[in-house]
A = this chain, B = another copy of it.
Amino acid sequence: MNYDLVVIGGSAAGLIAAKTAKLANPEKSVLIVRMEEISLVPCGIPYIFSTLNSIDENKMGIDPIKKLGVDFLIEKVEKVSVKEKKILTFKTEISYDKLVFATGSTPFTPPIEGVRQKGVFIIPKDYEYLKGMLEPISKAKNVVVIGAGFIGVEVSDEIRKQGKKVTIVEALDRVLPLAFDEDISAIVNEQILSSGLDVRTGSKVKRIIGKNGQAVAIELDNGDVLDADAIILSTGYKPNTKLAAEAGLFMGRYDAIWTDEYQKTSVKDVFAAGDCAEHKDFFTRKSTKLMLASTATYDARVAGMNLFGIKLVKQNKGNISIFSSAIDGLAMGAAGITEATAQSEGFVIRIGKSNAVDRHPGTIPDKSAQTVKLIFSKSGGTLLGAQVVSGKSAGELINVLGMAIQHGLSAIDLVTLQFGTHPLLTASPTMYPIIIAAESVAREII
């Protein structure tokens, strides 16, 4: 077989890289090689436990991409020869002109005693594994989730909705410790506790206690033992880069594939996108462990447009983390760097904050409390980061702030920006949270 473009991996990054390249170059032949017959919407995975009616509702449709003329081969790639410009599966040899690694990531399994027993689960992006996990979870009485990052918290909230007792164990001192500063995660923590979830922060797992090879409890560092007939490890992901490393691609930090600004790897005609690729922070240019589907699709669009000639010239923007989530009806989002990160990296900052409601007037039904925290550089007032807790409009509100960060807006830019407002949809024009949070900082500067 011979293709102009071969993409290894067919989740968010692979599909979008192939789609973007095909749309930009309809005359080129494009093949996606992936292991899975069925792939899942990655960020939808927590919702297979309750909100969605079945795991099949979380399938990622590939028909629109097939319709564009992209071919699929469901096989495992065993070897890549960048010298011969070929990839090999057990059955097939495929020549390429351009190659994209979009091999994703797999859960990191921490070396805890007893971790290899029945009843201990991870959250991979794997249809069959997750399907097999649904029944034991539904039969469990006590579920312990290890790790209070977004996936851990979302999965916990969903399993709680099944009526289970769910306990989250987190080694750091709070939930969502990387995305939010203390003041903001305190709000989230309160919501989590009031929802009925149990949270053990500052707690390390000593061992998983088993009985006849089945996990039955978890022992914490402080000696506490929690009953657990199901344990879910949510302690991070690591890039799938064995194939790329064997092919001789230069590896960046955290074992991810190094790429330049156009997603080109160290080898000519070979690109990488998504969780398997190294990401650099927007403000510090340091490597980050950013693994978001939105980041993956961003990489993939950049790669897809630039595969056959760099058309989309970038000015070294780096990656910005923009998260959002909703837990027990409370929505939240974060973009850019936190106050804590700013301080540890040595940024001299000012903080602006707004506390109000997300609709107006304050008497209107269906409103939610809305907190917006903005982190600015002290001189110049450049926006470095933002954190939001709010009703469901938080998802787009954090995108307003993400755009502001990516385009270098300052507190002064924000207070002279025109926003739209409406009683049923947003905070009031007199109390619009981005303005209120930026205003105090703008005043100190002007």
Residues of A bordering B, CB below 8 Å: 12, 15-16, 20, 23-24, 41, 43-44, 46-47, 51-53, 57-60, 292-298, 301-302, 305, 311-312, 314, 317, 319-320, 322-326, 331, 333, 335, 360-361, 363-365, 392-400, 402-404, 406-407, 409, 412-413, 415-426, 428-430, 432, 435, 439, 442-443, 446
Give 6 nearest A-B pairs by CB, closest first: A395-B425, A322-B420, A396-B396, A57-B363, A311-B446, A294-B429
On chain B, the residues within 8 Å of A305 by CB distance are: 415, 442-443, 446
Q: Are A403 and B404 in contact (CB under 8 A)?
A: yes
Which residue from B297, B317, B331, B429 sits with its C-beta under 8 Å from A293?
B429
Q: Are B422 and A43 in contact (CB under 8 A)?
A: yes
On chain B, the residues within 8 Å of A430 by CB distance are: 12, 15-16, 60, 293, 297
Q: Which residue of B lies closest to A408 (CB)?
A: B407
Q: Known pairs A24-B446, A57-B364, A326-B424. 13 more at Cβ < 8 A?
A: A43-B360, A43-B422, A43-B428, A44-B361, A51-B365, A293-B421, A297-B435, A301-B415, A314-B416, A393-B395, A398-B420, A399-B420, A400-B403
On chain B, the residues within 8 Å of A432 by CB distance are: 294, 297
A357 CB, min distance to chain B CBs, angstroms: 12
In the assembled complex, the Cα of A41 lies from the Cα of B367 at a distance in Å of 16
On chain B, the residues within 8 Å of A396 by CB distance are: 393, 395-397, 399-400, 425-426
Q: Which residue of B lies closest to A56 (CB)?
A: B363
On chain B, the residues within 8 Å of A443 by CB distance are: 23-24, 305
Q: Which among A57, A317, A361 has the highest number of chain B CB atoms within 10 Å?
A: A361
Q: Are B325 and A43 in contact (CB under 8 A)?
A: no
Q: Are A403 and B403 in contact (CB under 8 A)?
A: yes
On chain B, the residues within 8 Å of A302 by CB distance are: 416
Given contacts A41-B360, A52-B361, A297-B430, contact A324 B404 (CB under 8 A): no
Q: Which residue of B lies closest to A394 (CB)?
A: B425
In the assembled complex, the Cα of A363 lies from the Cα of B360 at a distance in Å of 31
A102 CB, min distance to chain B CBs, angstroms: 13
Given contacts A393-B393, A407-B409, contact A420 B333 (CB under 8 A): yes
On chain B, the residues within 8 Å of A333 by CB distance are: 420, 425
On chain B, the residues within 8 Å of A397 by CB distance are: 396, 399
Q: Are A419 and B360 in contact (CB under 8 A)?
A: no
Q: Which residue of B lies closest to A23 (CB)?
A: B443
In the assembled complex, the Cα of A26 lies from the Cα of B195 at a distance in Å of 44
Q: Which residue of B lies closest to A53 (CB)?
A: B363
Q: Are B52 and A363 in contact (CB under 8 A)?
A: yes
Q: Which residue of B lies closest to A300 (CB)?
A: B430
Q: Are B326 and A425 in contact (CB under 8 A)?
A: yes
